[in-house]
Chains A and B, each alone.
Chain A
Amino acid sequence: MNSLTIKNGRVIDPANGVDAVRDVFVVDGKIASAAAKGAEAIDATGKIVTPGLIDMHVHLREPGRSDKETIETGTRCAARGGFTSVVCMPNTSPAADNTGTIAFIKQRAAEAGCVNVFPTGAITKELKGEELAPIGSLKKAGVVAITDDGRCVQNNELMRRAVEYSKMFDLPVLDHCQDYNLAADGVMNEGHWSVALGLRGWPAVGEDVIVARNILLAEQLDWHIHCQHISSARSVQLIRDAKKRGIKISGEACPHHFTLTDECVKTYDANFKMNPPVRTERDRAAILEGLADGTLEIIASDHAPHCTYEKEVEFDVAPFGIIGLETELALALELVRKNALDLPRLVETFTINPARLLRLKKGTLSVGADADVTVIDAKREWTYDVTASASKSRNSPFHGWNFSGRAVATIVAGEIVWRENGQR
C-alpha cells in the first residue's frame, strides 16, 4: 500500500544536491531506492518532481472561525496548490496558547486534514503581548515554533525572555514585525499612493525597527528569530547584513509582496488589503533580490481567509489578509520564468529551508524519508478562478490572473491527495 513510482521527471532535491531526470520510488509511504512490485506508476516526463512543498505560514481558522476556513478546507486548498505540509498560526479562537487547543488542532488534522499540519503556539497568552504562554508545555504538545503572528510583542523585555526561554526547548521564534506606534492605524503602505488615496499609511520603518530589534536580540541571545512576511527593502538589507555576521536571523517572503505594489490599492478593493501591506516597486525589487541571494530563504503564503461579507466593506474597516495557497507556487514560478530566481533555489525556499528552520523531518527525497512529493508542470497554462477555490473564502487579489505552471500531483506519505483532472 501507498507505493508509487514517479517516472522520468526532472527531480530537484536541493537537500541532496540532486537536479536530474530520474525515477522516484515510493514504498509503503516512504522514499525507497527501488520500486515495489506492482506499484502504480505516474508518468512525470517533462514535469518537475520535488520534495513535498511546505507552506510555513497559513491561517486555518479552526478552532473559532470555521465560517472562514477549516482544517479540512484549508488543507484541501494546500493540496491543490502543491503543498504537502502547512504550518498553522496560533491566532485562532481560543488562541493556540494552551495545550488543549494544540491537541484539538492535531486531532482535527488527523481526522480531516489531507496534508500534514504542524501547529505553532503563541508567544504570549491570548497573543496579548503581556505574559508568556506556557511555551514548554506547548512544545510537548507538538508545536514547531512560537509566534504571536497577526500581532507583534511590543515589550522588548518580554520578547527577550521569550527568545531566551524558547531556546531551552530548541523552539525557533517567528515574529510578525510591526511597531504599533509607527504603524498606528495604517491600512496600506505609507507613500505616494496612501497620500493620493487619502488612506492612512503604515510606513516601512514600522517593520524595520522590529526587524532591527529582533536582530539585536538574536545576536545577544544566540537564538533563532525568523522574521515573517518581510515587506520592506530596508528590512531585507538589515537581515542580509546580520546574516553576514552569523546572527541566527531569517526572513520570509510572500508572493503578494514580490508580485504587487501599493498602486493596486487605488480601486479601494479590500482584497488588496493585507498586513504588512504591499509596498513600492523598490521594496518589491529588494524582496526579489533577497530571495535570489538567499537573504530571504523561505516563501510562504500567509494564507488568511476572510468571509466575503467581511471584505465587502469600506477599505478602512475591512480585515487584513488574503488567501494564497492555490496561487503561491504559480506566482513563484513566474519569478523563474522571468529569471529572477532559479528553479533549485525556488524549490529550496519551499522545502528544505522551512524544514531545517522548524526541525521538520520533511523537505527531502532521501531514501527513508516520508514520501511527500510534489509533481509540477512548469509550462501548464491556467487561469485562477477563486469562485472554484477549495478554500471556504474568496479573498484573493489574483482572481482571473493567467499563470504558467502549477502542481499537477500532490503526494502525502505516498498517497496522491490531489491530482489534476482526477481530484481526490
Chain B
Amino acid sequence: MKAMAWKHKDLLGIQELTAGEITHVLDTAAAFKEVGQRAVKKVPSLRGKTMVNLFIEPSTRTRTSFELAAKRLSADVINIATTASSLVKGETLKDTALNLQALNADIIVIRHSAAGAPHFLSRLLKASVINAGDGAHEHPTQALLDAFTIREKKGRIAGLNVTILGDILYSRVARSNIWLLTKLGAHVTLAGPSTLVPRVFEEFGCRVTHDIEDAIRDADVINLLRIQHERQRQTMFPSIGEYAAMFGLNKERFGRTKPDAMIMHPGPINRGVEIDSEIADCGRSVILEQVTNGLAVRMAVLFLCSGGKIAAEGAE
C-alpha cells in the first residue's frame, strides 16, 4: 500500500476531504479490518493516548463503535454522555471542552444535536476533534463505512448508481454520503417525499425524484434512511403509515430492483416503515456488515488523526 500524507488533525466532515484522502482512509481501514478477525484483536498504535467520547446527544451504536475502535488501538477511553455531564448544569460546550483539554485528552469524539459544534470545538482545542454526528450536518465516519462497504462488495464506487431513500433533509448521514459519493464519482439519486427531499439538493450534484419506482429501478445500491422523528416538525408528511405505503421498500418494490442491488441502512431500523422486515434480513442486505466495517473505519480515522503515517504498518 502506498504511503500518503494525511494532513488533518480533525475529521469534521467529508466536505473538507479530497477524493484521494477519502480513498486513503478506506485503504487504511482495510488493513485494520483484518485486526478484528484475529484472536487477539488489539494493536498498540494509540497506546498512552486518551480518547474522550463526548456524546451530547443520545447514541448507542456510534459511541460503542468509537469506544471499541479506540480500545483495539490500545487508547484509554472516557465516555461522557449528556445526562452524566455538567452540561445539564449550564456549563457551556466551550468550558466543557477546555476542561477536557486540561486533562490532556488527545482525541475528542463529539456527537451533538447542533450542526457545527465539532467545528466550533476544533477552533478552540489542540486535541483532535472527530465528528460523530452534528445535527443534520455531517456524520463522516458513517459515510466512510458506507463507502468501505460498497467498495468491498461492488469493487468500486465510481460509476455506480446509489439511491438514498427517506428523510434526506434532516439527515447528516445523507449529507456525508452525498459529499463522499459525488467526490468518488458515483451517480447519486435522492428520493422520498418532496417535503423531506427538496429540489435544492440538485445543486449538490444529485438527482432528486419523488417517485420510488424511478428511484430504485436502476440502483446498484439502495441506502435507506430512518425517519427521524426527533429531528422533524410534525408537518412534514401525514403519517408513518402513509410514508410506508408511499416510500417503504416492501417486497413488491424489492422485486423490481436490479438482481444484484445491495440494501444498506445506517440503523437503527424501523422495521415495517422504511424497510420490510424480511428484506432487512435477506442476503442482499449488508446492514450488519456495515456495523463491522464501521469499527475498521473508525480505527483508521483515529489512527490517521493521531498522526499515524503508514497505513499498512498501522495494523502490524
Contact = CB atoms under 8 A, between A and B. Distances in A.
Nearest to A198: B137
Contacts of A397: none
Interface size for chain B: under 10, 10 to 19, 20 to 34, or 35 or more residues?
20 to 34
A268 B116 contact: yes
A14 B16 CA distance: 51
Contacts of A313: 92-94, 120
Nearest to B179: A196
Contact of A317 (B114, B136, B201): B114
B101 to A, nearest CB: 15
B198 A195 contact: yes
B93 A196 contact: no
Given A191-B200, A192-B203, A199 B116 contact: yes
A28 interface: no
Contacts of A199: 115-116, 135-137
Contacts, number: 58
B135 to A, nearest CB: 5
Contacts of B111: none
A314 B169 contact: no
A192 B204 CA distance: 9
Contacts of A314: 93, 112, 114, 116-117, 120
A67 interface: no
Given A198-B137, A268-B119, A315 B114 contact: yes
B172 interface: yes
Contacts of A184: 233
Interface in B64-120: 92-94, 112-117, 119-120
B134 interface: yes
A158 B140 CA distance: 49
A316 interface: yes
A196 B135 CA distance: 12
Contacts of A316: 113-116, 135
Given A198-B137, A315-B114, A316-B114, A268 B120 contact: yes
B172 A198 contact: yes
A130 interface: no
A312 interface: yes
B115 A268 contact: yes
Contacts of A267: 119
A195 B92 CA distance: 26
A312 B120 CA distance: 9
A315 B198 CA distance: 23
A277 to B, nearest CB: 15
B233 A198 contact: no
B138 interface: yes
A127 to B, nearest CB: 25
A267 B117 CA distance: 11
Most buried by B among A196, A198, A200, A312: A198
Contacts of B134: 198
Contacts of B204: 195-196
A199 B137 CA distance: 7
Interface in A186-221: 191-192, 195-200
Nearest to B118: A268
Contacts of B93: 313-314
B200 A315 contact: no
A411 B159 CA distance: 69
Contacts of B198: 195
Interface in B121-143: 134-138
B175 interface: yes
Contacts of B175: 196, 198
A197 B116 contact: yes
A191 B117 CA distance: 21
Nearest to A199: B115
A312 B115 contact: no
A86 B278 CA distance: 68
A136 to B, nearest CB: 40
Interface string A165-199: 00000000000000000001000000110011111
Nearest to A188: B115
Most buried by B among A191, A267, A316: A316
A198 B115 contact: yes
Nearest to A267: B119
Nearest to B200: A195
A195 B138 contact: no
Contact of A195 (B15, B116, B117, B201): B201
Interface string B18-29: 000000000000
B136 A198 contact: yes
Interface in A244-270: 267-268
A197 B201 contact: no
Interface string B194-214: 000010110110000000000
Contacts of B136: 198-200
Nearest to B168: A195
Contacts of B94: 312-313
Interface in A228-257: none
B92 A315 contact: no
Contacts of A200: 136
A317 B115 CA distance: 10
Nearest to A268: B116
A184 B232 CA distance: 11
Most buried by A among B15, B92, B116, B201: B116
The 5 nearest A-B residue pairs measured at CB:
A198-B137, A268-B116, A314-B114, A198-B136, A198-B115
Interface of B: 15, 92-94, 112-117, 119-120, 134-138, 169, 172, 175, 198, 200-201, 203-204, 233
25 contacts: A191-B200, A192-B203, A195-B169, A195-B204, A196-B15, A196-B175, A197-B116, A197-B137, A198-B135, A199-B115, A199-B135, A199-B136, A268-B115, A268-B120, A309-B92, A313-B92, A313-B94, A313-B120, A314-B114, A314-B116, A315-B115, A315-B116, A316-B114, A316-B116, A317-B114
Interface of A: 184, 191-192, 195-200, 267-268, 309, 312-317
Given A195-B198, A198-B134, A267-B119, 12 more contacts: A195-B169, A197-B115, A197-B116, A199-B137, A268-B115, A312-B92, A313-B92, A314-B93, A314-B112, A314-B114, A314-B120, A316-B114
